[in-house]
Amino acid sequence: SQQGEEDPQALSIQEGENATMNCSYKTSINNLQWYRQNSGRGLVHLILIRSNEREKHSGRLRVTLDTSKKSSSLLITASRAADTASYFCATDSRGNNRLAFGKGNQVVVIP
């Protein structure tokens, strides 16, 4: 069943700006993952954060996790036109790779 929810769902920014998107979920998790999807294409795994972690970085990506609020955020710094895509969070409740995806955020980076 769907669990993750992102807010906002559509974001349009200028190249070089930062993009922040949020995800909330309802039940306990083992880990939370963020994925990128270009239109009509497969998923690209961005980052995984475990329930005992609060923040994680990967290149221009920064993910936070607040298990008390059951929420996560993804920050993309110094955005590029190539970052234009849909971004989804997905929760893994039991650590068995069975993922529940959120609604997704459409990010458009204007050159």
The site for another protein (CB under 8 A) is made up of 1-2, 35, 40-43, 45, 48, 88, 90, 96-104
Shortest separation between residue 16's beta carbon and another protein, angstroms: 27
Shortest separation between residue 56's beta carbon and another protein, angstroms: 15
Three-state secondary-structure class, residue 67: coil
Residue with Cβ nearer another protein (10 or 81): 10
Residue with Cβ nearer another protein (57 or 98): 98
Q: Distance between CA atoms of 31 and 11, rounded to whole angstroms?
A: 25
Q: Distance between CA atoms of 29 and 39, rounded to whole angstroms?
A: 28
Q: Distance between CA atoms of 100 and 4, rounded to whole angstroms?
A: 7
